[in-house]
């Protein structure tokens, strides 16, 4: 089955700096890669996703890149703000089943 | 707000008991997914229903079962509860089924087994 690894497990950045989270996956059949943000006491919130026929996607301060050959994808957050502090999860969709990474705790300090 | 609702928000029960968690998908969504989130296992896919029928199964224990009703709401039944079943249980929904469908999560039910 699919296995997703996510790094780093924690990330501390100064407000205004960029944050990058990297994930690798194992199943070459996976073709959809969503990213979720989870704040304390809430459910995961879909923030951006990318499909296998696209190499990069951007939405305001958030961007995701995908390298299918290397089987890795990354989340980039630019101009970080305190409200970006949360746990971020990457996931890979293998036949409709989402396999999640272990999560990255992002702390943005003012 | 994702549009997915879950009840109850919190549930405290004893070992050996049985509980039912309820989920209502977003309006128009036909698929419902159940996930378990624990500190040691992370977010784990349990089971998916599409338009009333089981579609995919993940790491779901035999003590756990689910169903989706004609109005598309879903229930997750957990029986013979053990301390290790304490976790957050999330429901997600999507418009269709199959790979590549965007899944929207509810706020979760926190289950504590004592």
Give the gap in angstroms from C-alpha B22 to the nearest C-alpha of chain A. Answer: 15
B75: confidence class by pLDDT, cuts 50, 70, 90: very high
Judge whether residue A17 has pLDDT over 90.
yes
> B39: distance to nearest CA of chain A, Å?
10
Q: How confident is the model at residue B111 (pLDDT cuts 50, 70, 90)?
A: very high
Nearest one of A106, A92, A94 to A37, comparing CA atoms: A106
Bridge partners (DSSP) listed for residue B32: B49, B93
pLDDT tens per residue across span A48-83: 999 988 899 999 999 999 999 999 999 999 999 999
Per-residue pLDDT at A22 exceeds 80: yes
Nearest residue in A to B109, CA atom: A43
Q: Classify burial at A27, counting beta carbons within 10 Å of its beta carbon; exposed 0-12, middle 13-18, buried 19 or more.
A: middle
The chain-wide mean pLDDT, for chain A, equals 95
| Residue B99, pLDDT above cutoff 80 | no
**Which residues in chain A are contacts of B47 at CB distance < 8 A?**
none
**Least CA distance to B41: which residue of chain A?**
A102
């Amino acid at each position: 089955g699919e296995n997703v690894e996510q790094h780093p497990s924690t990330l501390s950045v100064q407000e205004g700096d960029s944050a990058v989270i990297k994930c690798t996956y194992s199943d070459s059949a996976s073709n959809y890669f969503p990213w979720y943000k989870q704040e304390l006491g809430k459910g995961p919130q879909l923030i951006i996703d990318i499909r296998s026929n696209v190499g990069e996607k951007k939405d305001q301060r958030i961007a995701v890149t995908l390298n299918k050959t290397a089987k890795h994808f990354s989340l980039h957050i630019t101009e970080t703000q305190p409200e970006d502090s949360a746990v971020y999860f990457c996931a890979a969709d293998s036949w409709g089943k989402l396999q999640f990474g272990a999560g990255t705790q992002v702390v943005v300090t003012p | 707000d994702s549009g997915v609702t879950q009840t109850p928000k919190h549930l405290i029960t004893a070992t050996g008991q049985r509980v039912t968690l309820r989920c209502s998908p977003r309006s128009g969504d036909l698929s419902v997914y159940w996930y378990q989130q624990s500190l040691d296992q992370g977010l784990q896919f349990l089971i998916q229903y599409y338009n009333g029928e089981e579609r995919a199964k993940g790491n779901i224990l035999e003590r756990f079962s689910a169903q989706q009703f004609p109005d598309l709401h879903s229930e997750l039944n957990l029986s013979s509860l053990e301390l290790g079943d304490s976790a957050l249980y999330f429901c997600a929904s999507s418009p269709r089924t199959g790979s590549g469908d965007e899944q929207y999560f509810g706020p979760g039910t926190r289950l504590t087994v004592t």
